[in-house]
């Protein structure tokens, strides 16, 4: 697994699994019928943020992450990030490789911490991955996510210093 | 105190205290040198969000609030809001009137809860006001705000159902 900067032309490979994940409505508080241009605008963030892709041994895009300051001004020393792994590549370490990359980036970029604002509590694989990478749950915002199968579930705020 | 929809021309009255509050860097995680056009773009939110102003007995703008869905898609049933009270009008009930208005709006608009994402913990007047209006602190994100006098302080996530 190689992580590299996303190029504009990578969006063509990201969009199919991005659309699938967003349309499923189980892990992201994004409009489930988000258009392709809106998805591109949201995901392919420009500097000082970054978007990266995870490339498998065959040269295919297996996942993507973006990263940015979570807030401005006096809050700009805390980073945040979002992750999308092709569901067909689940369990192959793609999310972990992207997560480790983001932690390294945050440290090298001078951020003091990373905060995830909205991890769906029923997304057990993600919660377990972030815990294993040193993130703690600060709070669950009760009933903040309307899950298509589980109903109203909590959104976790997760955090680690870097 | 009257609360009404903000009109585009109200920005001229909002901007002086908005700039003063943001430049002080004590209560908002916004760029402290935010330009006037950027401030206007950020504050005067369009539908489905709303911006309102608090008008005092003399017809002057004493404060303003904006309100919106905190997230999209499966998270769009939780509202959020931001508040700016002219520092020269502190302690006159402006923030309380705006807060009560936002709670009423959220209920009437079908939101299930209101979440404040980043209340600076040293902003004691705001924290006490929100507590008195039924908000609870879900968590403090440690050292997430670089206060010009107090150093790194926590950002509170506050919440109430409506």
- Write out pLDDT tens, residues A84-99: 999 999 999 999 999 9
What is the tens place of the pLDDT at every residue in B10-50? 999 999 999 999 999 999 999 999 999 999 999 999 898 99
What pLDDT sits at residue B43?
A: 98
Q: How far is CA A138 from CA A6, A125, B93, B120, B160, in A?
A: 31, 18, 32, 16, 17
H helix runs in chain A, sequence order: 11-24, 36-43, 94-108, 124-132
What is the tens place of the pLDDT at every residue in B95-153? 999 999 999 999 999 999 999 999 999 999 999 999 999 999 999 999 999 999 999 99
Q: Report the distance separating Cα B40 and Cα B38, nearest Å.
A: 5
pLDDT band at A103 (very low <50, low <70, confident <90, very high): very high
Q: Contact A142/B113, CB-based, under 8 Å? A: yes
Q: Contact A32/B73, CB-based, under 8 Å? A: yes
B62 min Cα distance to partner chain A (Å)? 25
Per-residue burial over B7-31, b if 16 or more Cβ lie within 10 Å, else e, is: eeebbebbeebbbebbeebbbbbbb
Q: Is B48 on the interface with A (CB under 8 A)?
A: no
Q: Choose the closest CB to A141 out of B118, B138, B148.
A: B138
Q: Contact B29/A71, CB-based, under 8 Å? A: yes
What pLDDT sits at residue A32?
A: 97
Q: Contact B117/A117, CB-based, under 8 Å? A: yes
Q: Contact B159/A143, CB-based, under 8 Å? A: no
A59 min Cα distance to partner chain B (Å)? 33
What is the tens place of the pLDDT at every residue in A126-160? 999 999 999 999 999 999 999 999 999 999 999 99
Average the pLDDT over A112-128 and give the result. 98
Q: Using a pLDDT cut of 70, give the percent of chain A over it.
A: 100
C-alpha radius of gyration, chain A, whole number? 15
Q: Is B23 on the interface with A (CB under 8 A)?
A: no
What pLDDT sits at residue B58?
A: 94
Q: Report the distance separating Cα A109 and Cα A79, nearest Å.
A: 10
What pLDDT sits at residue A56?
A: 96
What pLDDT sits at residue A116?
A: 98
What pLDDT sits at residue A133?
A: 98
Q: Report the distance separating Cα A161 and Cα B39, nearest Å.
A: 30
Q: Is A96 on the interface with B (CB under 8 A)?
A: no
What pLDDT sits at residue B84?
A: 98
Average the pLDDT over A105-122 and give the result. 98
**What are φ and ψ of residue B156, in 5° steps?**
-85, 140
Q: Using a pLDDT cut of 90, give the percent of chain A over it.
A: 98
Interface of B with A in 76-95 (CB under 8 A): 76-78
């Amino acid at each position: 697994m190689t992580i590299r900067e996303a190029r504009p032309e990578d969006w063509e490979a990201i969009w199919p699994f991005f659309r699938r994940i967003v349309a499923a409505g189980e892990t992201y508080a994004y409009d489930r019928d988000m258009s392709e241009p809106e998805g591109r605008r949201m995901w392919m963030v420009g500097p000082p943020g970054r978007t990266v892709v995870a490339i498998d041994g065959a040269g295919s895009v297996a996942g993507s992450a973006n990263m940015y300051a979570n807030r401005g001004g006096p809050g700009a020393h805390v980073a945040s990030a979002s992750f999308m792994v092709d569901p067909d590549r689940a369990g192959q370490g793609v999310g972990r490789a992207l997560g480790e990359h983001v932690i390294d980036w945050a440290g090298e970029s001078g951020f003091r911490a990373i905060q995830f604002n909205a991890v769906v509590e029923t997304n057990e694989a993600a919660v377990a991955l972030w815990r294993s990478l040193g993130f703690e749950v600060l709070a669950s915002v009760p009933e903040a996510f309307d899950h298509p199968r589980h109903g109203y579930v909590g959104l976790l705020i997760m955090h680690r210093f870097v």
